Chains A and B, each alone.
Chain A
Amino acid sequence: MAVYFKGFGGLFPEKDHEKGMFLCPRPPIKEFVDPKESRRMSSIVRSGVFSGMTALKNAGVEKPDGIITGTGLGCLSDTIKFINSILQYNEENLNPAPFIYSTHNTVSGQISIITGCKGYNTTFVHRGISFENALFEAFLMVSENLRLNILAGGVDELTEEYIDITRRIGLYQNGVEPGEGSGFFVLCGERKGAVAKLVDIKLVPVTDRKKTEASLIDFLDRNKVVPDKTFILTPFNGDPDHDGWKKKKVLSLNWKGMLSPKQKSGEFMTAGALALVTALEMITEGNADKIFIWNSFLNMESAFILVEHV
């Protein structure tokens, strides 16, 4: 019994040097959605639909058996658009569209409408491990029933207000650059035609350093991970306050290779989805056999994922 990736899709941001952040280009979704339908879609929905539909296309799956999305902050731009309109028009005669599309499950809902998937549909919104929650539930579902194809992914979007407010809070400091993007994956129980194997995944919903380190050791042990035969994708975001102890832990082992995906994606709550896209690209391109991913948003919760080639 094992769980495999049948396909994946991602939307990476590009670094805007002037603004000091990573922003996504507008993804082409004409292939998947009638332009009449997509006109109204906010950037997070476009992003999620693009990655989700690309993953399904690459997997050769038209209609998955379930859709699970993780998003840290959901449809921020529509949320802000709607609250701005309430304030501007003093609660009168408001256009309901931004409210309708502000719910956190919009991406999952829209993909279900596009694909006609009438199966399981849920959305996790638990901070820096929202995506890994989605992947974990998909992993459990496929483990229960190996015949399923489950689409799971993570997505978040940046808005000007978010950047401005988090700057005031001091959330991104010491050179940490905010980012956005999405990654979706088709999980299945079939080895044939799979692009990689999802060996194990563990969520660590604590910020405590000792407990996280203990979980890390336990995860590596239970999967018999041999560091010098395994690549590691690190959670480092560039802030020494966040990275310091994690770096010490990572460097205490002799890994085959090391990469920090947030250098390419920036930091955001579902950056783990792009870390996994990066890992699967490395595996499918033959650059790695086994990859351990440690993700953690800022100095918050952690998640561990182990993937290997088929």
Chain B
Amino acid sequence: MEKIFVTSIGIISSIGRNTEETLYSLIEGKGGQRATCYIDSHIARSLPLCEVPFKNRDLADMAGVPEDMFMTRCSLLAAVASKEAVAGAGIRLDDDITTGIIVGTTVGGMDRSELFYKEYSKDKKSGDIKDVICHDCGDTASKISQLIGKYDFVSTISTACSSSSNSFITGVRLLKAGVVERVVAGGSDALTYFTVNGFNSLKIFDSNPCMPLDAGRKGLNLGEGAAFAVLETEDTIKKTGNIPICELSGWNNCAEAYHQTASSPDGDGAYTAMTKALEKAGLGPGKIDYINMHGTGTENNDLSESVAVKRVFGDKIPMLSSTKSLTGHTLGASGGIEAVISILALKEKIVPGIARFKTPIEETELVPVVKTIKNINIHHVMSNSFGFGGNNSSLIFSRC
């Protein structure tokens, strides 16, 4: 079976504007929680949010977006992260390698359309039309493909919080079927008035920096960001000459078919996603060195996921942590951000620690890695992402 390699990564979140800054924050255990300044919402102002500390104009400059190109914040974050990934893989406008671009996102251009809608709701004739034309989720992938100059396959996936993990899975399918030779897969989401209020209405925010996987967890912190990885086949690597960072060795997406938002108490969906990803990779559970957990910090997810981890791994629980304790929950970007962090862990030989951990969850007693471990030989890393609609995805990255 043909192998799928990761040859480059790019990332932006509240803990760093590129791979280098992200690595530094992971090693230092530096979280991105701060008082927000870009969303006009009194709920947002009362919460710690993991905002990317740059104005849209600064993001546009970082990404080298032409001045006449209208971009939502979601697209700007994606542009910054994809630019780093594209540069690292040496993707050029004039190379003849067919390239797919797949973006995962939950609300796409909502960051601008909600500005329009606030005005529109007061007076149907007001609101700046320009703010609403990029509302649809597909806008970001289209803009990224224009910036990269590749149009062989452009698509967008929206499966709530597992969106960008699923962009990797569809990417693998395209590569295996020979639809394209190379895929830029990942995702992006910006903080919005809409999602801040959505999660607030669900009462699953922690009013302090979050404590995933902790018995005392009170909920999540919302974040924003984007991350992409470049995937190539063995044949493509022969053409590009890229040296793989690691292999994408296992993947699975499945439905839990249980509830629109809640995870089942025995973690069935998570169990299936992890088990089938292991099967795909041809690995026994004992081979996984580190799990980057979905670990949102909510009562329901963390218990259900921990139960599923115990079911899959038994007595031999791998090292694990939730980097959402640092980046917050970046929704449609989280699968991509955590996949990139998992790849970075393999590349830089680290196991990222979790912030603020004190007490294990009583029912499962899982103890995460608290302080980032450096210079450690790890071979296989699993990254979990679960979303509304009972959507569960696991990816496995392996040293090659």
Contact = CB atoms under 8 A, between A and B. Distances in A.
Contacts of B268: 118
B160 A103 contact: yes
Nearest to B41: A91
Contacts of A73: 135-136
A118 B255 contact: yes
A177 to B, nearest CB: 20
B24 interface: no
B156 interface: yes
Interface in A260-290: 269
Of A74, A113, A122, chain B has the most CB atoms within 10 Å of the CB of: A122
Nearest to B118: A87
A109 B129 contact: no
Interface string B110-123: 00001001101100
B391 A109 contact: yes
A108 B155 contact: no
A144 B390 contact: no
A118 B177 contact: no
B173 A72 contact: no
B151 interface: yes
B351 to A, nearest CB: 30
Contacts of B166: 122
A112 B260 contact: no
Interface residues of B, number: 64
A117 B255 contact: yes
A84 interface: yes
Given A122-B157, A125-B138, A100 B202 contact: yes
A206 to B, nearest CB: 5
Nearest to A164: B124
10 A-B pairs with the lowest CB-CB distances in the bound complex, closest first: A109-B389, A104-B158, A112-B255, A121-B255, A99-B198, A205-B154, A96-B201, A94-B201, A127-B138, A125-B137
Interface of B: 41-43, 105-106, 108, 114, 117-118, 120-121, 124, 129, 132-133, 135-138, 141-142, 145, 151-160, 166, 169-170, 173-174, 176-177, 179, 193-194, 197-198, 200-202, 253-261, 268-269, 272, 387-391
20 contacts: A86-B194, A86-B197, A94-B201, A104-B137, A104-B160, A108-B159, A109-B255, A109-B391, A118-B254, A118-B272, A119-B254, A122-B159, A125-B105, A140-B179, A161-B120, A165-B120, A168-B129, A205-B151, A205-B153, A205-B154
Given A83-B117, A169-B133, 4 more contacts: A103-B389, A126-B138, A205-B153, A205-B155
